[in-house]
Structure 1
Amino acid sequence: MGSTSGHGLALEGHYNQLVPAVANGGTAEVMAVLAVTRDPAPAAAAPQPRAEVIVLDVTEAMAAQPGWPDALRSGARAALGTLRPGTAFALVAGTDEARVLYPEPAKEADAPPRLAVADETTLAEAAAAIEAVPIGSGAGGARLGGWVDLAGRLLAEHPNPLRHALLVSASADRGGPGELASALDTWRGRFACDARGVGRGWRPVELRAVAAALSGTVDIVDDPVGRDRLAREMAATLADAMGRTLGDIVLEVRTRADARLARARQVAPTVERLTQVKAEQSGLSLCYGTGAWGAETREYLLQFEAVPGRIGEGALLAQVVARLDDGTGPMVPIADWQLRVSWADPADEDAQRADPRVAATGLAAGPGTGAHTAPPDEPDAPYGQ
């Protein structure tokens, strides 16, 4: 078990401490599952200020699919219903450009985009804006990079690290080369974004890129029957975001000079790529953003490669430090865990056994630590085609 702190975060590693000492100058593989748990007790603390942006696809691609415009409006209203009083929020309409649907932009031409504060009046006004927005007016298609950029600029106005966006798209990206990638690079680690693809015109690889870069999730809603499914999904996604009370946690993985982190991936409760952030990185230290946390446990599969020592010797190969990034200064370490191993004879049967938690991920192959096999990326084609 690693250390814990007043933030209620605990780190615990699962791995076989006996590692075969590979001969002839080879490298040894060590695979571990790191369980990171946020204790539910801190969730009872006073609610923290938070900001939410809901990005809605109102392109022709959305309008062309029967049932989806009504489902989108119903889902957006359901999402608004989950916002807690005092939440800073905005609605964005996405076509070949992104514009703030609510609140009404300031009249000054150079004024930055602004957020509203959720109360009975503003939520009613936002619901009316959803009903009034024309769906299908964007003939140029979707430019996801512009959608992400506007969400980022809106959320940048909010000082608290609990910043989240929900992006709902029915369209393949029509932005120029590198436009989406550039926007994701700009806002990486600065807010979290969950992406939902609806209907059959969007590209999974694009929404996965959004979710991976912005510490979010991606999912599919491909049946608009009765409007209910999209409404439930959007409301549940926003409710989950409202339940997160600890700001962005960055996992810093430090290795000794003759070891390296070869792969890292979230494996539970869902399989997700980790977002590598630029803060405090060196050849021996890599940082991964994990977004905001509620009362939950997430598990990460870490694969290390190291030059083995003599049989019978022990070694500290790596340390994982959980840091809180509140956006106001240097990241604060709040918990840590150490990876210690003992080098064993390659013929030792105990060293050949995979830890049950590692084996259960399905991403380890062979005896002992094994090799990591990552699922392939989705093809760059619209969903359902």
Structure 2
Amino acid sequence: MSEPQFSIKIDQNRYLPEGGREVHAIVSVEASAADGPPAASAARASEVVIIDTSGSMSYPETKLRAAVAAAQVAVDTLRDGVEFAVVSGSNTASMIFPRHPGLVPATPETRAEAKLALSRLTASGGTAIGSWLRLAGRLFDTVQGGIRHAILLTDGKNQHETPEELDAALAACGGRFVCDCRGVGTDWEVAELRKVASALLGGVDIVADPAGLVADFQAMTEAAMGKSVADVALRVWTPRTAKLRFVKQVMPTVEDLTGKRVGSEPQAGDYPLGAWGAESRDYHICVEVEPGQVGGRELRAAWVKLVVPGAPGEEAKVLATGNVLAQWTDDEALSTKINPRVADYTGQAELADAIQKGLQANRDGDVDTATALLGRAVVLADEAGNDAITAMLRKVVDVVDPATGTVRLKRNVDKVAEMELDTRSSKTVRTRKDETVTTRRGEG
């Protein structure tokens, strides 16, 4: 596996009207596979598989058996030499393999031993996800550097620890490893697992039918094994008089990174992006600047770098850079245009928010708010060309007029359909290349 080559592309309209303050830009980061031998650091990886073994996993018994089979496939998918462990989660966390806390290299022998240990699993007890993550964190602390990835599977709510205990565990584990979360069945809480995945830079999804776990675990493990650069960060510098309003990932999913900022250089902060392989992701940044002189020179509103932070006392490795610019003009034709990619991703971020808040309003019994928000979501999904989300919305609402967002909430909505819409609401699609530039909507 070769370390990928990184590039940054900036999409924006740099022209602002007189007095304009907000500069928006889409930062597209692409990592393309490169030929040649891998760097030593790129080849190292560690994996922890966390399986819910609470009592509910045995109702029905096929749920636990499917989870075991999925974990066994994940173990088989590991590259030779990857250090791994398998953890059982209930009221507390315990080791399935190896027996004592630690990680072991993947070999034919250790894979066979791990799969045998998994086959002996039984289900009992409750759910305390924070304790599971803390054990994973201690396991990852035994390795230095490299890709650190966990898979967490649960079928229920986090009932055996307080929300504060889970928050403390997430704060302690943040930045130490990436965790992808899966909920099996329909008795778990989407918002709860989304919070875990967000804090640990991973994804969340539903596997409604336990039979789908094997393929899903294999895909997650293959994706983790395809990463080759760990702990990448987006470093954003702004002028002293500017304020960075937000940094959001907008592709392949919507994720607000603003609160994850870690100070790095003077006037700059790092936003963690996790591990990378050959892939591309898009980020939306908004900078508030002091208005400049109309007709004056072009200014740098932000300097964006993709970096791998160094150890204490060491400089970061810069992988790619790009500039976000600003220039003031009295030409209304220039200043009233918004870059189409900025417009499209702004709509898709609003789409995710409308779906999540609309579904919550419906659960709370606020039918009017739910109807309005999910109707707005229908319009936004259509504008974005997000056909997958449109199809999911139509399982939850009857669409009377897609152009105006006139909808009626369906009665007796299938729980799986609702949870699929919720978990996948933040998945975005690439902007349409043939879209024309549109007028600003309240910017500046």
* TM-score, normalised by the number of residues in structure 1: 0.85
Q: CA deviation at 1:373?
A: 7.8
Q: Which has the higher helix share?
A: 2
Change (3 A) 1:95 1:283: farther
Query: In the alignment, which residue of structure 2 is the partner of 1:188?
Result: 174
Distance in 2 of aligned mates of 1:230 and 1:308: 54
Equivalent AA in structure 1 for residue 187 of structure 2? G
Change (3 A) 1:364 1:49: closer
Query: In the alignment, which residue of structure 2 is the partner of 1:169?
Result: 154
Alpha-carbon displacement from aligned partner over 1:306-362 (angstroms, at most 9, x marks no partner): 2211111221111112111366764333322111111122x6122211112212224
5+ long unaligned stretches in structure 2: 364-414, 420-444
Alpha-carbon displacement from aligned partner over 1:175-232 (angstroms, at most 9, x marks no partner): 12411111111121121111111111211112111111111111111122xx2x1111
Q: Does 1:67 align with 2:51?
A: no
Alpha-carbon displacement from aligned partner over 1:142-172 (angstroms, at most 9, x marks no partner): 1111111111110111112311111111111
Distance in 2 of aligned mates of 1:51 and 1:155: 7
Change (3 A) 1:44 1:267: farther
Once the two structures are superposed, the pairs formed by residues 108-257 of structure 1 within 5 Å of their partners are 113-135=101-123, 137-138=124-125, 141-174=126-159, 175-224=161-210, 227=211, 229-257=212-240
Distance in 2 of aligned mates of 1:155 and 1:329: 23
**1:33, 1:358 within 8 Å by CA — same for their partners in 2?**
yes
Query: Of the candidates 27, 34, 41, which is equivalent to residue 34 of structure 1?
Result: 27
Q: Does 1:270 align with 2:253?
A: yes
Query: In the alignment, which residue of structure 1 is the partner of 2:14?
Result: 17
Q: Does 1:90 align with 2:73?
A: no
Query: In the alignment, which residue of structure 1 is the partner of 2:295?
Result: 312
Distance in 2 of aligned mates of 1:326 and 1:206: 33
**1:55, 1:168 within 8 Å by CA — same for their partners in 2?**
yes
Equivalent AA in structure 1 for residue 141 of structure 2? A
2:230 is paired with a residue whose SS is coil
Distance in 2 of aligned mates of 1:94 and 1:9: 38
Distance in 1 of aligned mates of 2:225 and 2:32: 17
Distance in 2 of aligned mates of 1:373 and 1:281: 33
In terms of mean alpha carbon deviation, does 11-20 or 91-100 score higher? Answer: 11-20
Alpha-carbon displacement from aligned partner over 1:47-101 (angstroms, at most 9, x marks no partner): 6121000000111222224631122112111111210010100000000100111
The number of equivalent residue pairs is: 356
In terms of mean alpha carbon deviation, does 270-279 or 237-246 score higher? Answer: 270-279
5+ long unaligned stretches in structure 1: 1-5, 106-112, 366-371
Distance in 1 of aligned mates of 2:35 and 2:267: 33
1:197 is paired with a residue whose SS is strand
Change (3 A) 1:71 1:10: same
Q: Does 1:261 align with 2:240?
A: no
* TM-score, normalised by the number of residues in structure 2: 0.74
**Aligned-residue CA RMSD (Å):** 2.6
Q: CA deviation at 1:41?
A: 0.5
Q: How many percent identity over aligned positions?
A: 34
2:229 is paired with a residue whose SS is coil
Equivalent AA in structure 2 for residue 359 of structure 1? A
Alpha-carbon displacement from aligned partner over 1:244-300 (angstroms, at most 9, x marks no partner): 001110111121122222122111122233375464358943321111100111111
Change (3 A) 1:364 1:31: farther
Distance in 2 of aligned mates of 1:264 and 1:61: 39
Equivalent AA in structure 2 for residue 318 of structure 1? A
Higher relative contact order (CA 8 A, sep 6+): 1
1:127 is paired with a residue whose SS is helix
Distance in 2 of aligned mates of 1:211 and 1:43: 33
Equivalent AA in structure 2 for residue 375 of structure 1? D
**1:275, 1:289 within 8 Å by CA — same for their partners in 2?**
no
Change (3 A) 1:261 1:193: same
**1:276, 1:289 within 8 Å by CA — same for their partners in 2?**
no
